[in-house]
Every structure is written in C-alpha cells, then in structure tokens.
Amino acid sequence: MSMEQDVTMDITAASGTAIAPAARAVEVIGTDLTERSLRRYLEGIAGVDAVGLEARAAGLGTRSIKKESKAWALDKVISLIDLTTLEGADTPGKVRSLAAKAKVPDANDLSTPQVAAVCVYGDMVPYAVTALGAAHAGARSDGGGVNVAAVATAFPSGRASRSVKLADTVDAVAAGADEIDMVIDRGAFLSGRYGQVFDEIVAVKEACKRVDGSYAHLKVILETGELSTYDNVRRASWLAILAGGDFIKTSTGKVSPAATLPVTLSMLEVVRDWHRLTGEQVGVKPAGGIRTSKDAIKYLVTVAETVGEEWLQPHLFRFGASSLLNDVLLQRQKLATGHYSGSSYVTID
C-alpha cells in the first residue's frame, strides 16, 4: 500500500470484494483510510498512565474470592483454557493425548468441565480434529464442544512473505481449525508502518473464510513483550480491532515477558472502549506464564471489574496455557477431598 493509497482500494484489488473491517475502520476514524489517516488516529490515542495502570492491576490482583465462590471460579478457569502444545517435537500421539485431556480433564471426576480449545500448529490440526471426534465444536450443532485453534502466519516470529502466511492460514482452516491465532509483524508496527499491519490482518481474516461462507475466529497476537511500552500495546490493540480481529492476544508464549496483569488490563480497557464506541464485543486472550489457579483467578477478577462478567465466556476470554490446567485440577480436588493430591493425580501434558 502506498503512503496515500486508500486501504480499501488495495484490499479490493486483492480479493475482488470490499472488506467489511476496512469500511468499519473508515466509519470509526471518520475519514478515508490511508496510511497517514491511520497513523494520525493511532498516534492521537491518549497515552497510558503507566503508574496508574500498574497500581490498578496490583489492586485487582489482591481481590479475594470467597470460599463458596472458589469452586465456581476454578470451573470457570477450566472452561476458558486453550490447552496448548506448540513445540517442534510435537507428534500426532501427543496431540491425541492433549485432545483426550481436553475432553475429560479429570477422569476421576466427570463433572469437570471441558476446556475451550486445543491449540496446536497447523499441521497438527487434522489429528486434533479426529481425536476430539464428537467433542469437537465443529461436529456439534448445539454450540458446545472443544474448538481446535491453530497458530499461523509463520508463528512465532511472523517473518515470512504474506503469501506464505495466507497459505498457512488457508491450510489450517481447510483442515478443520475453528480458530486462527496469527502474529502481527512487530517490525512493521514498531517502524510505524501501521497500514501494512492493518492490511495483513484484514487479508488473514479473509483467509479464515470457509467454503460455506462462515469464518474461523481470528485471534491477533501482539507479542506485547516486544512492543515494550503500554502505549504501543494500546495502539496495537486498537489497530488489530479496527482490522477485524475477533480476539486480541498478548503473546506467543515464546518471548519474555509474556502475559502480565497490567498489559492484559490495558487490552481489556481498549476492548471496553471499543464496545462503548461501537456496541461490538471483542475477546482478550492472555497467553504465556499463567501457571497457577491463584494467578488465573486474578485475571477473572480483572475481566469482571473492567469489562463485566459477561466477558467470562469462551467466545470473549481465554487463557493460553499448557500447565495451568493441572494446578486448577489439583485445587479442585482439594476442595472436594479436603487435602492436596500429589502431581501424580493429574496427567502430564
């Protein structure tokens, strides 16, 4: 896209049809969408009071859950987890094992809720879909079940051509992925090339289209650990939502720091402001580093206090985690039996 070329023209030339996110962005920004107008809008967003943000996050992190509510909170956390394996050594067998745990997190207590999704690399999607079977959300008509999420767009670095990123997305959706977790080009964002990042998100969103005309949900990973400042996190959040992201996600889990409470609070505030502006609901997914039920409950409180309890549903909030589930299961067993079980009482992911 040239410096002054209308983004909608660029997208129309690529896809042959007008793209709704571009039209929505024009409506929100209030002028033709160009690199200059997009930059002016994003850089005009009020800066973040870092001291105030961190103080509020710290205060929310001290809120306690009453004993009678803890069982509800633990079950809620489980229902919001994207059970994840994103290793180079992943095998079909490991994915099948993960899917089995997603369906039945605790074989000794079948009242334990299922997780929200299994998150894998794109080439592992067919194994996850098959292993979930009737539990796969795509195989059900009741709106329940476990989704399959696939990381795409040259995860985790995002360093690939756009054609490769789009092919990565198309392949995962064709294989049965219900959700796509894409990474933004952090180099382009940090260089101020907001139009390039916008265009890419819109193009990936279009690549999420299924043959029946529906779309896989798109989670846009900001990799907040590389964005360095809360102001950048806020701008990147607005940019991702303007471009049509269904979720904004903190991290790949491969960069430190990953999810933090202040960063997640900042993103939730953007989602709150977007909802007030447009009436639309966008999801938030903190990912990486959330390992204990105690920490997870802090996030539940932060969500409820910032955007409302309505967001505590799988289509609006997720935890990206691999080890969190085991700790929550042990805490759940403690509530049921009155004593802590050893780690051998939960399966190794």
Confirm whether 123 is a catalytic residue: no
Residue 63 has a pLDDT of 84
pLDDT for residue 310 is more than 60: yes
Query: What is the band of 336 on the pLDDT scale with cuts at 50, 70, 90?
Result: confident
Query: What is the band of 58 on the pLDDT scale with cuts at 50, 70, 90?
Result: very high
Q: What does the pLDDT average to over 91-108? A: 97
Residues 6+ apart with CB under 8 A from 321: 81, 82, 83, 84, 287, 290, 291
Residues 6+ apart with CB under 8 A from 71: 332, 335
Catalytic: which of 285, 295, 298, 327? 285
Catalytic: which of 10, 178, 181, 295? 181
Confirm whether 103 is a catalytic residue: no
Confirm whether 70 is a catalytic residue: no
pTM over 0.85: yes
Catalytic: which of 219, 249, 298, 327? 249
**Domain residue limits, the chain:** 50-345
Residue-wise pLDDT for 271-307, tens only, equals 999 999 999 999 999 999 999 999 999 999 999 999 9
pLDDT for residue 12 is more than 50: no
Residue-wise pLDDT for 138-165, tens only, equals 888 787 899 999 999 999 999 999 999 9
CA distances from 22 to 78, 245, 272, 276 (A): 35, 12, 21, 20
CA distances from 255 to 41, 123, 287 (A): 29, 22, 11
Nearest residue to 148 via CA among 220, 84, 232, 60: 84
* CATH number assigned to the domain covering 50-345: 3.20.20.70
Residue-wise pLDDT for 179-234, tens only, equals 999 999 999 999 999 999 999 999 999 999 999 999 999 999 999 999 999 999 99
Q: What is the CA radius of gyration of the chain?
A: 20
Q: How many angstroms separate the CA atoms of 20 and 182, rounded? A: 19
Q: What does the pLDDT average to over 242-249? A: 96
Q: What does the pLDDT average to over 70-79? A: 96
- Residue position matching structure tokens 């929550």: 328
